[in-house]
Amino acid sequence: MQSTFEKLQQLQDILSKKFDLEHEIHEIPRALAKKQELLNRLKKSYIESNEKFETTKSGLLELKRELAEAESLREDSEKKMDVISTQREYEALEKEIKSATEKEQFFRREIQKEERALEEMTEQLKKDEEMIAAEEQELKEENEKIQAESESKQVDLNQLLDEEKAIIPGMDEDILFKFERIIKNKSGLGIVPVNNGVCTGCHMMLPGQFVNDVRAGEGILFCPYCSRILYFGTQDELTDVVDDEEEFVGGLADLVDDDFE
C-alpha cells in the first residue's frame, strides 16, 4: 500500500495543477468576451447616433427648403405692392408679407439650432469612431495575447496529462474516480496524513480503531468527515503539518491582538 500512497501523493500534485490549468484555460476567453461585449455596445451606440445624425441632416434640408419657400413668397408679395390699387389689396399683401417674414425668422432659428446640433453630433461621432478603432485594436492585441497564453497553458496541460497517464496504470479505477472528485472539491488536497489521531485535512478527531486501521495501511481509507484519503505519515510530514498549524494559529493570534489594541 505504501507504493499506492506514494503514487496518490504524486498524482495529487499533478491533478491539482491539471485542474487549475483547465480552469485557467476555460476562464481565459471570458476576459475577451467582456471586451467584445463592450465593443459591440459601442458599435450599437454609434449606429444609433449615426441614424440620428442622418435624420437631423434630412430635417435640416427640409427646413432650408421651407425657408426658401417663405422667402420666395415674401419677395413675390413685396413685388405685388407696386401694382396694387386698393386698400383692401394692400392689407391682404401686408398680411402675407408679415406671415412669410415670421416663417422665415422661425425657419432660420430652427436651422441654426439644427446646424449646432449637427456640429455636436459630428464631433461626437468622430470621438466614437476613434474609440471604436482603439477598442478594436486592443481587442485584436488581447486576442493574440490570449491565444499565445492559451497555447502555452495547453502545452503544460498536455505534459501533466502525460505524467498522469504514466502513474495511473494498475491503480483502482474507482479509487481514481473518487480521488479526482475529492481534489476538485477540496482545493487540490485529496490525500493527507493522520497526526495524533486527527485528520490533517479537516482537523477532526478520528475514532481510535479507525486510526489503527489507517496505521496498519492495509487498504484505502477515507476520512469520515471530509472524505479525503488518509495515510499514516512519516515524522517529516507530521512535522510539516505541525509547522503549518502553528503558523496558522500564530496568524490568528496576531489578528486577535490587533483587534484588542
pLDDT one-digit tens code per residue, 50-104: 999 999 999 999 999 999 999 999 999 999 888 888 899 899 999 999 999 999 9
Q: Which of 109-118, 122-131, 141-150, 243-252 has the lowest mean pLDDT?
A: 243-252
Q: What is the DSSP letter of 171?
A: S
Q: Which residues contact 8 (CB under 8 A, 6 or more apart)?
A: 179, 190, 191, 229
Long-range contacts of 28-32 (CB under 8 A, 24+ apart): 28/146, 28/149, 28/150, 28/153, 29/146, 31/142, 31/146, 32/139, 32/142, 32/143, 32/146
The pLDDT value recorded for residue 122 is 96
pLDDT at 71: 94
Helix pair angle (173-185, 2-80), 10° resolution: 50
Catalogue all structural domains in the chain, each as residue range(s) with its CATH number. 17-167 (1.10.287.620), 173-260 (1.10.287.1490)
pLDDT of residue 1: 58
The pLDDT-based confidence of 30 (bands split at 50, 70, 90) is confident
138 within 8 A of 42, measured Cβ to Cβ: no
pLDDT at 2: 63
Give the pLDDT confidence of 143-202 residue by residue, as tens digits.
888 888 889 999 999 999 999 999 999 888 999 999 999 998 888 899 999 999 999 999
Q: pLDDT digit string (tens) for 201-260? A: 999 999 999 999 999 988 899 999 999 999 987 644 444 444 444 443 344 344 334 443
